[in-house]
Amino acid sequence: MILAIFALFCVSEIVVFPSQQDIYLEAIDVDANDRLIFYSPHENEAVVNDYVKSHIEASPARYFVLRQAGNRHIHLVIQDQVFEVDPNRIFTICGAEGSVRDLNDAADIDQDLMASAVDRAVELGQFILNQFGPVSSETVWIALHNNTDGYEDDGREGEGTVSIDRYQMRLDFGASFLISVFKSHADEDDLFWTTKTEDHDWLGWHGYNSVLQNPDVAVIEDEDDGSLSVFAEMRKVRYLNIEAERFNPESGKGVDHTFTQMHMLQAMIEMLGEQEWWH
């Protein structure tokens, strides 16, 4: 009976970002020695969140959701000035600087305030990494994202930049951030992003769309976008990102690929040899 009651609890806590207290991490099932770190950086990409939460109890995994006001971007407030930043661009100084400058019109903004916003963004990245805990050769960072239907300029009124078709095209045209693409019969928007050849091969052989990041992104200056995948490469952490299409309420396009993303997650758990606690 006690166990049954305990199982109803989702052991979730709020970890507030000290420098700006409306930003926080929802932290689920944080135990010592967790090897698998699930992370949802974009608050409006939540198709598979409940599924992850329902499976993570009694596991060697923890799950973090970055939260503020439900949007894709985080808003940093520096002396009454609001700066937008992409929370998946804040894990390096270079990335944070690029994101703050791209998303905020530099022309009419005080440069000192801009520099403070970059500092705040880097601090937020450090805060998140501290919650992930120390890394070892066993650590796996698993990012969960959702993207929109198709991609911009695909001739079919697609949106965004994530699509296995687009990545194949980027590879064909010599982009340096990726070195291999497996395109399966799955929807172009449902794909894995990987940093280990073995993972990429396994997923490709099992019929999934998969992209293998170029390990050199860790040292190519132009590829330092401050994303978790690039930072993982710098720290030599095994990284996986599971991307699936979602409905975009702003455009009315796309469909939540909930079951697909659940199946992709199950497959990844099997690949990691962690099925015993994932039922």
Residues in contact with Zn ion by the rule CB under 5 A: 42, 45, 145
- CB 229 → Zn ion: shortest distance, Å? 11
CB of 145 to Zn ion, least distance (A): 3
Question: How many CA atoms are closer than 13 Å to the CA of 103, on its beta-carbon side?
Answer: 22
Nearer to Zn ion, 26 or 45 (CB): 45
CB 58 within 8 A of CB 277: yes
Joined tokens for residue 161? 């930049």
Distance set, CA 170 to CA 163, 166, 177, 179, 276 (Å): 10, 6, 9, 10, 38
Q: Which residues pair with 28 in a beta bridge?
A: 12, 63
Q: Which is nearer to Zn ion, 87 or 204 (CB)?
A: 87
In the complex, least distance from residue 171 CB atom to Zn ion, rounded to whole angstroms: 21
190 vs 202, beta carbon nearer Zn ion: 190
| Phi–psi pair at 112, nearest 5 degrees | -65, -40
Q: How far is the CB of 108 from Zn ion (least distance, A)?
A: 29
Q: Closest residue (Cβ) to Zn ion?
A: 145
Nearer to Zn ion, 62 or 145 (CB): 145
The H-assigned helical ranges of 104-196 are 111-132, 164-172
Closer residue to Zn ion (CB): 85 or 114: 85
What are 211's strand-pairing partners? 181, 193
**Which residue number, 59 or 227, has a Cβ lying nearer to Zn ion?**
227
Distance CA 30, CA 130 (A): 13
**Which CA distances in Å does 189 have to 17, 165, 222?**
32, 9, 25
- As given in the structure block, the two tokens for residue 117 are 């916003």
Closest approach, Cβ 162 to Zn ion, in A, equals: 8
CA separation (Å) from 26 to 30, 44, 64, 70, 112? 10, 14, 6, 13, 31
Give 59 or 148: the residue with its C-beta nearer to Zn ion: 148
Smallest separation, CB 61 to Zn ion (Å): 20
CB 39 within 8 A of CB 71: no
CB of 33 to Zn ion, least distance (A): 28
The whole-angstrom separation of Cα 243 and Cα 42 is 12
Name the one residue in this structure whose structure tokens are 């019109």.
105
- If the CB atoms of residues 114 and 162 are measured against Zn ion, the closer one turns out to be 162
Closest distance of CB 238 from Zn ion, Å: 19
